[in-house]
Amino acid sequence: MNGPISHGAFTVAPNVSCVSSTTPVPGLGVLPVNAFLVEASEPVLVDTGLPALVDETISVLTTRIDPADLRWIWLTHCDADHVGALEKLLTLAPNARVVTNYLGMGKLSMRTPLPPERFYLINPGQCLDVGDRQLRAVALPSYDAPETMGVFDATSRALFSSDCFGALLDDAYGATSIEDVASIDSSSVVEGLSKWTMVDAPWLAGVSDSTFRGSLVELGRLSPEHVLSAHLPPAHGKLAWLSEQLDRARRSDPFVGPDQSALEAMLSAA
């Protein structure tokens, strides 16, 4: 796999679609990168995919909805793999407002100046009314940017968990769309979740057991049926199992990336 690949869209829950892609992470495997469409009466796009796949993401999204009909673009956080198609979508969807928090608005404004009326600010615990349902902003136990918020849709019982519960997968999983994490060998998921968590949230190693487990209990109270991470194939009925794996993952060895000589060795081997 030489670069990011778009894998199209598929349904993951009633009126919820996954816009799926993967990107290689040299030396570490393949990372799924998902955005999600909630076809509420006021349609919501959760995240906007990779910068390298802007045209593909919009073309796949268009198979599910006319982008002009989007009313909300909810950014779980502002990392590049979540805001890839944002600028183009804001043009294609002139009625869509960007849902984030105050820090998210500040970060986005440094790259894409937007009038304040195009934002809608929300904090964990608050809900956004999208016509036929309420979407709740939730704090997550694992993240790599402080503006991160997940989204819980009590109607579909989908939890959009951003970077949390992501996994680096074997290279072989990069070539095709994986519609259900249950189709991957569970030991690969456990290993990949551990790898990703130590890359994405090394600070978890310093969090006390009681604090971390308290955050898992809070999430469990939502009882999501579908865990829709930006970086894992969709998981159904697996929150307890994923939480257990995350609790183990945070005690893994810290990730240390290749230094210059290791990078040069990788480049010459390639």
Buried b (16+ CB within 10 A) or exposed e, 147-160: bbbbbbbebbbbbb
Cβ 188 vs Cβ 223: under 8 Å: no
Q: Identify residue 217 by its one-letter amino acid code.
A: V
Q: Taking Cα atoms as reference points, which of 219, 196, 198, 201 lies closest to residue 125?
A: 219
Q: Which residues bind Fe ion (CB under 5 A)?
A: 79, 81, 144, 163, 230
- At its nearest, how many Å lie between Fe ion and the CB of residue 245? 18
Report the residue number, 130 or 167, with the smaller CB distance to Fe ion: 167
CB within 8 A of 107, min separation 6: which ones?
78, 147
Report the residue number, 215 or 229, with the smaller CB distance to Fe ion: 229
Alpha helices (H) along 63-165: 80-83, 86-92, 102-111
- At its nearest, how many Å lie between Fe ion and the CB of residue 93? 22
- At its nearest, how many Å lie between Fe ion and the CB of residue 20? 14
Walk across the sheet containing 119-121 and list its strands. Answer: 5-13, 16-25, 29-38, 44-46, 72-74, 97-100, 119-121
Report the residue number, 130 or 233, with the smaller CB distance to Fe ion: 233
Report the residue number, 42 or 81, with the smaller CB distance to Fe ion: 81
- At its nearest, how many Å lie between Fe ion and the CB of residue 138? 16
C-alpha span between 97 and 117 (Å, rounded): 8
- At its nearest, how many Å lie between Fe ion and the CB of residue 137? 17
Report the residue number, 75 or 230, with the smaller CB distance to Fe ion: 230
> Which residue is closest to Fe ion by CB?
79
Cβ 67 vs Cβ 15: under 8 Å: no
- At its nearest, how many Å lie between Fe ion and the CB of residue 162? 7
Report the residue number, 15 or 197, with the smaller CB distance to Fe ion: 197
